[in-house]
Amino acid sequence: MQIICISGGGSNRTKALAGRLAHKLGYRSLNREDLLEKAIKEGIQVSKLETATIKPQMFTERLALEREYYRAFMTAFLGGLNTENGTVYSGRSGHLLFSGIDHVVKVRVVEDETARVKEVMQQLNINSKKAIRYLKDVEADRNRWTRSMYGVTLEDAAHYDVMLNLGHMSVENAATALAAIAQLPDFQLTPASKRSMEELVLGANARLLLARDERTFRANVKVRSDRGIVTVTYLPQDAGIAQIIPEVIAPLPGVRELSVTMATTNILWIEEAFEAASETYQQVVEIATKWNAAIELLQFIPQDMVGQEELITADEPAFLSQRPDFVRECIGGIEEEGEVVCEDAGFQTVQQALARLGCFGGGRRIVGGATQVVKSIDRTVPYSLIVIGNMFLAKGHSAQMRMTRQLLSYLSDQINAPVVNAEDLKSQYLFGHHDLLKLFGCLGLFSLILFLILTYQEPVLRFLSGVEFKAKALAAVAVFLFVPTMAYLYGTVARSLMKLIRME
C-alpha cells in the first residue's frame, strides 16, 4: 500500500488535487475531516486539543495524554488501511506520522496568495484586508498545531519529498506530475518499508489499547516496536500499572515480546556495531542509572557502506566482512535506505542486557545518511542525551573521526538535546580520577583564598580603598581577576560534587 500525504492550506484547489490524484491512481481519497470524524467517534477530544494549541495555558496533562491518543489513532488508522489499495491523504501534517518510510510520498503544496485571498473573500464574504488577516491566523494555527503535535515546523522542507506550487500549474497537470512521481522506484513498497510500517502500526495499536483501557488511560507512556518486540516506557508515578500493561497488550496480534520500563527521561545511543562488553555500554548504563533514564538504541549503517561498488558477493556487503558479530542470515539483503534486514548479534545482546537491567527503551536499525537519523527521531520524546558511539567502521581512523564530528555537528543543529560522542561521554557526564583531582584542587584553592581574605581583612580593605590613581587601578584589576576566578573555582567544585553524588 502506497500512501501519498498532501500538506496544503486546506483550499479547494488542494482538495481537488488530492481527489484528482486519487482518481488517476485508483487510490482511495481521505482528508482531515474524514479522520477527525473517526477520531471523535473514537472518543478523542479533538476540539479541546485544537483550542489548547491556540491557548497554551489551557494545555493540561490530560490533554497531553489525549494528544498521544490522537497520534496513535491517526497512525494506526492510516497505516493499517488495506495494503492492496493506495491512499491519498490531504491534511495538515499526516506526513509527519510516517517519517522515514519510503513508500509514503510526502507532498507540500503552496498556492498563489492572491488566488487564496480571493477564494476566502468569496467563501466568507469579507474584504481583502480581513481575508489576508484570516489566512495569516489560519497558517499560524496550523504551525502551532504541528509544533505541538510533532515538535517540528510545518515549513521545514526536510520533511517533504516534493514541493509543489499550484500558482504555476493547473490541478490536472499537478495531479499528472504527482502520479508520475508516485510511480518512481524510490516510492514503491519494499519488504523493508513494509516492515517499518508494520512496526509503526503495531506500536500505535499497542498505545491505543493502553489509551482505551480505563486502568491505563491516565498513564503517560511511550510505546515503540521493533521486530515484534514492543517496549513500553512509563513514568515513576505510574508504577502501579506495570503489572497491568502486559495484560492490556496481550490480546494484540504480532507482539512477539513485551518490555516494560520505568524511566523519567530517555537517552538515545547511536552506534554502528553495538557491544555489551564495550566501555561505551558501561558508561551509558551508568548515566541511565543515575538519571533513571531509558536507553533507546539506534543502529545506524551509513549509506556509503552499502554501495554496490563495495559488494564482495551479491549477498554480502563489504562492511559485513569486517563485522563478525553480524549473523549472516539475511532476508533479501540490505535495502538502499531504511531498515537493516540482517540480524545483528551484538545489537540483540545489548537489547537483552538492557532489558534485564530494566532500562531498555526500544531499538531500531536504519541505513542511510544523517537526514535519515534525524527523520527517525521522535521529537516528542524527551531526550536528555544523544550519544554517538563507534561509527563509519569501514573507514580509516582519521576519516572515522572527521565523519563522526560532522554527524555530531549536524545532529546538534537539528535536535534540541545535548549530543556527545563516546570519547567525551566520561569527561562530561561521569565522575573519574581527573574529576577527583580537580575537585580537591579547586576546593583547596578556593578555601585558601577565602581563608587569606578573612585572615587579612584590614590589609585587603586598605588595598581596595587606596586614593591614588595607581592604587585604584591595581584594586580594579585585582577585583576584575578575583571575581571570575572565585566563580570558576566555585562552579567547578559544585559541578564536580553534583557528578560525585549523581545529581544534575
pLDDT at 320: 37
Q: Tell me if domain 3-187 and domain 193-261 are identical in fold.
A: no
3-187: CATH number: 3.40.50.300
Contact 210, 248 (CB under 8 A): yes
pLDDT tens digits for 89-105? 998 888 899 988 889 99
193-261: CATH topology: Histidine-containing Protein; Chain: A; (3.30.1340)
Provide the grid cell at 243. 503489572
Q: What are the residue ranges of helices labelled H in 92-127?
A: 113-124
Q: Was domain 263-429 assigned CATH 3.40.50.620?
A: yes
pLDDT at 28: 92
Distance CA 363, CA 440 (A): 41
Q: What are the residue ranges of helices labelled H in 80-212?
A: 113-124, 128-150, 171-182, 191-212
Contact 181, 162 (CB under 8 A): yes
Q: What is the pLDDT along the chain (504 residues), one digit of tens a residue?
A: 789 999 987 778 888 999 999 999 999 999 888 999 999 999 998 888 888 877 766 677 788 888 899 999 999 999 988 656 789 999 888 889 998 888 999 999 988 888 888 888 988 899 989 999 988 888 888 888 888 888 888 888 888 999 998 888 899 999 999 999 999 998 998 888 888 899 999 999 999 999 999 999 988 899 989 888 999 999 888 888 989 999 999 999 999 999 999 888 899 999 999 999 999 999 999 889 888 899 999 999 887 544 433 322 333 333 333 443 433 333 333 344 444 445 578 898 998 899 888 889 888 888 888 888 888 888 878 889 999 999 998 888 888 999 999 999 999 988 888 999 988 887 777 766 677 788 888 999 999 999 998 898 888 888 888 878 888 888 889 889 989 999 999 888 887 777 676 544
Of 347, 322, 338, nearest in space to 269 by CA: 347
Provide the grid cell at 408. 555530531
DSSP 8-class letter at 170: -
Long-range contacts of 179-183 (CB under 8 A, 24+ apart): 179/21, 179/24, 179/25, 181/105, 182/2, 182/4, 182/21, 182/25, 182/86, 182/105
Distance CA 26, CA 170 (A): 20
**Between β-strands 28-31 and 87-91, what pairing exists: parallel, antiparallel or unpaired?**
parallel
pLDDT at 143: 86
pLDDT at 315: 34
Q: Please give the model's pTM, rounded to 2 decimal places.
A: 0.75
Distance CA 163, CA 183 (A): 17
pLDDT at 182: 93
Q: What are the residue ranges of helices labelled H in 80-169?
A: 113-124, 128-150
Class of residue 320 by CB neighbours under 10 A (exposed 0-12, middle 13-18, buried 19+): buried
- Of how many residues is the chain composed? 504
Structural domain boundaries of the chain?
3-187, 193-261, 263-429, 433-500
Backbone angles phi, psi at 366, to 5 degrees: -140, 155
Would you list the DSSP string of 349-409? HHHHHHHHHT-EEEEEEEEE-HHHHHHHS-TTS-EEEEEE-S--TTS-HHHHHHHHHHHHH
pLDDT at 329: 36
pLDDT at 150: 85
